[in-house]
Every structure is written in C-alpha cells, then in structure tokens.
Homo-oligomer: A and B are copies of this chain.
Amino acid sequence: MLRLASSQSDFAERLKALLAFETAQDPAVDAAVAAICDDVKARGDAAVVEYTNRFDRMHAESIADLTLSRDELKAAHERLPAALREALEAAAARVTRYHEKQRMASWSYEDEDGTLLGQQVTALDRVGIYVPGGKAAYPSSVLMNALPAKVAGVGEIIMVVPTPNGERNDLVLAAAYIAGVDKVFTAGGAQAVAALAYGTETIPQVDKITGPGNAYVAAAKRRVFGVVGIDMVAGPSEILVVCDGETDPDWIAMDLFSQAEHDEIAQAILLAPSAEFLNRVEASIAKLLPTMPRRTIIEASLGNRGALIEVADLDEACEIANYIAPEHLELSVADPDAWLPKLKHAGAIFMGRFTSESLGDYCAGPNHVLPTSRTARFASPLGVYDFQKRTSLIRVSEAGAQPLGRIASLLAHGEGLTAHARAAELRLKD
C-alpha cells in the first residue's frame, strides 16, 4: 500500500495523481447507449423486452413478464427471516426520521405596498429509481433512494432493477415494499433508463431518475438529462480517514477495508500525524486481510488507489481533507466536534471513534448516496430536497407596479428589450 508524507517535496503532485480518476466518457458506450435510447423511444415496450432478454439472458414474452406488483413485493418481504426483516424496518425508520428534517417549506413575505414575494415548494409527481442487479444488488440503496422521495411526498415511485438470468433478490424487493415503491419493472441498463425517461405503453414517464448503475446506465442518465432530472453521475466510492493515532488500528484497517471491498477502483486513504501509527495500521491490514471473503477486491483496491499518509498534525489533515473533498470522511479523533469547523468539503462526516462508516451506510439515518470524485466541493448528499422543487411567486400590487415598473422600464430599454419596457409601462398610472 502506498505510503506518503505531506513533508515530501512532491507531495501535492503525488496527491493529485493519487486522486486522479479518468472520468472520460467512452465513445463506444455512448454510441451504444444512444442507439438503445432511440430504439426504446421509438418502439417502447417491445424494445425494452428485447434488450432485457438479450443482456440479462431472460425469456420474457412481453413487458408483463417484467412487471412486479406490490403483492409480489409483499411476498418477498414475508419470505425474509424475521431478524433481517426487522433490521430493514429499523433502518427504514431511522432513515425516514432523519430525512423528515430535510423537508422544505414554502414561504412568502409582503412589501408595505401589498406586493407579495415568495417561494412555493411542491413534490415531484413521479420518480424512477434505478437499482443495480447482480453482484451489487443492495437493499440499502433501495431505502436510500426511495425513502427521501416518499418523505418529499412524491406521487408515484417506479423502480427498475435488472434480474440477470431471472434471479430475483428478495432483500431488494422487500426493501422496495418497506419503502413504499409503487411499481417494479425487472429491467435494467440503458433500456430501463430510456423507458423511464420517455415512457412506454406500460412504463410511465417519470420526472426524475435517481440511483447508481454501471457505465451504460451512467451514460444513459447523462443522455436523458433535461428530458427528466437525474441525481448525480457517481464515480468510484471513497473514504478518507483522519485519525489522531489513538483509535484501535484494527478498527481503522476494517474501515478502510469496508470501502475497498466495494470494487477494485474504490479508494481508501488514511491521514495520521504519526508514522508509527501508520505502521500499526499496516500491520493490522496484513493481519486482517487474509480473513476477509472479499480479500482479492480489497487487495486490488488498496494496492491501486489506497494510501497511508503521514501528516504534520490534524490541522494539516483538515486542509488536505478539504482538498480531497471525500465522499466519506471519518474523523477518528478524541474530540471530533473541535475539528468540525475546519472541514468544508465532504459528502458525510463520521465523527468519533465509534462512528464506523458502515453505520452510516445502513442505518444511522443520513443518506448513503453521496457526492464522489471531489464533487462534494459543490454537491450534496441525495435528500428530500432532490424530490421537491421550488416555484417563485410574485404578486405585484397596483401601488407596487409603479416604482417597480419605472425600474424595469429603464433597465429593459438599457438592454434594448422594448416590449419588456412597454409591458411595465402599461401598468403605470401616469
């Protein structure tokens, strides 16, 4: 695993190289996705069925074979072992409680002349949730995408999830049941994204599509952006652990593993003001790695993109954290509240030694869909606010139209827009 120290003369350069990730879109993927989207737009259900049969090795005769009712979701929910069902329900309750605090409210105020200005908040009518199938089918992602929409008051939630070879995942379907998903189609890939964006005879057109997916899904989301809203286009998952050197090194090693086990391009970085502590974590990694079922992935990820970095002190660690703007920032220190004001850019901050990232991934309450690849500089976690939108309200009184009309008239003439000016002037009394 790469070892760096902030005191190295080429540290800034090496850090930049470590974080670099080729986000360029693949023209071959783009072309394939464009063809699929156009085909789904033109032929609807028939195209969705054909692509699904081909890519997911299914034998659907019509879209009906790819449709799951609430009853089927309920049956999956009932099939789960009680402990797992209760864990899902407990997670859903906590996630719901947190997200209820995010709900935006309308507001307005009046000027002295009776002119009203405000902002009306409304929920989206219908959203689509993309849930990956196969090896990365995560029920927790169903909760994290559907529950904020539910809390926002979205009218209808449509989920798409591929079921390669027809294999359905009961945990995923049970999570959809708990989260209040209205309809599920067992289709994925660009064809499912296109169906949600344009609508087919059977799959309703949605207003926004959220949820992670592979390169084809990401390219399709980019492509339909504008026709519908999308959440972010996510990059590889990342964790940055800042540790004062006093946390059990086994805990830190396992936290790094829990990011690295996602896939070979995930990134796990540790900053600590002690080379000796980094050595102890390295020893823990060596000790624990052989015990991990996903050790091949973890080893590749830590080898490709991981790093243990010695810093001068925690102040410097915070500066570096702000530059990295990580998706997950673990602040494994004695007094995390003291360091919080120095941290500006991160998707989520896990404060204190007992807050392993995995608690946040499943059940602490906040969303686990977070900005990656330094986009926490400008982006936020997925939230209720992604499923609400605002409308400006302006109600100008006759008295208010006088001063405002004169200002608007001057500025509109200044911009050469005479009709704008005249529209304001017609409302003037003199």
Contact = CB atoms under 8 A, between A and B. Distances in A.
Interface string A219-261: 0001000111100010100000000000010110011011011
A72 interface: no
Contact of A362 (B294, B359, B393, B408): B408
Contact of A261 (B346, B394, B418): B418
Given A379-B389, A392-B349, A408-B361, A340 B120 contact: yes
Interface residues of A, number: 121
A138 interface: yes
Contacts of A359: 394, 396, 401, 404-405, 408, 424
Number of copies: 2
A199 interface: no
A13 interface: no
Nearest to A373: B226
A191 B232 CA distance: 25
A389 B395 contact: no
Given A379-B229, A424-B358, A91 B23 contact: no
A184 to B, nearest CB: 19
- Among A119, A248, A262, A390, the one with the most B-chain Cβ atoms within 10 Å of its Cβ is A390
Most buried by B among A208, A376, A385, A389: A389
Interface in A49-91: 83-84, 87-88, 90-91
Contacts of A137: 415
Interface of A: 23, 83-84, 87-88, 90-91, 98, 101-102, 107, 109, 115-117, 119-120, 122, 124-125, 137-140, 171, 207-208, 222, 226-229, 233, 235, 248, 250-251, 254-255, 257-258, 260-262, 292-294, 298, 336-337, 340, 343-352, 354-367, 370-371, 373, 375-381, 383, 385, 389-398, 400-401, 403-408, 410-412, 414-424, 426-427
